[in-house]
A = this chain, B = another copy of it.
Amino acid sequence: MPEALFRKFERFHAFTESEKEMLIDSIERVEKIGKGRDIISEGRNPEHVHLLLEGWACRYQLLDSGKQHIMAFLIPGDLCDVHVTLLDYMDHSIRAVSPAKVAYIPTRQIKEILGCHQRIANALFWAMLVDEAILRQWLVNLGSRSAVQRIAHLICEMRVRSSVAGICKENTFTFPLTQEELGEAMGLTQVHTNRSLRKLRDEGLIRRDRYELEICDWARLQQIAGFRDEYLHLKAR
């Protein structure tokens, strides 16, 4: 089931069949989550770690102002909250931005794996470090780039990550965000997000049909965004 996870981890090191089986066996159950529903809510420590199998999700936080800010997008193969194995408190929430399918893995199991299976533990650790690197890039994005650049950069990132997860065919992949959500992530209003997207479209860089996104000029899109993929640590070693 979690092919996307294995594909991602192969960047770090390939798992043996028995390791894969162990991971699959640790899945307690799989659930479908409706679009817009929370997978985990801020506050308490859940008893499961969640692995996204299908669809997109986002980390987000509610603000005093009533607005919310999106801090990350998760795609198939991403673990939502290895955090909770060590932190006693979720400091943000995660919700599905499209219909999603989620695997529930008991926290206990993850702890056991972390303790007993060095190789898998390292892979999880590695995945967390990459997540952190992504977070840093988002920070640079918000802090130092214009609206158009920010959006272009996010598109570049999600395209590469989708490729790694095996859900990007040619130059087209699923990008199931409303302009409002895209704005919430990029620190922009929905209106300005709309205009910026339009610029990218008018320049012939991207095309959108419903929630499918096609990249028409990959080289120029990267260049405009200032995107370089090193931070995703793709090179298999």
Contact = CB atoms under 8 A, between A and B. Distances in A.
Contact of A126 (B86, B133, B237): B86
Copies of the polypeptide in the assembly? 2
A226 B64 contact: yes
B140 A83 contact: no
User: A interface, how many residues as a size bin?
Assistant: 35 or more
Contact of A140 (B69, B115, B233): B69
A144 B63 contact: yes
A88 B122 contact: no
Given A132-B131, A132-B132, A132-B135, A143 B86 contact: no
A165 to B, nearest CB: 19
Interface of A: 12, 59, 61, 63-65, 67, 69, 71-72, 83, 86-89, 91-92, 115, 118, 122, 125-126, 128-133, 135-136, 138-140, 142-144, 185-187, 226, 230-231, 233, 235, 237
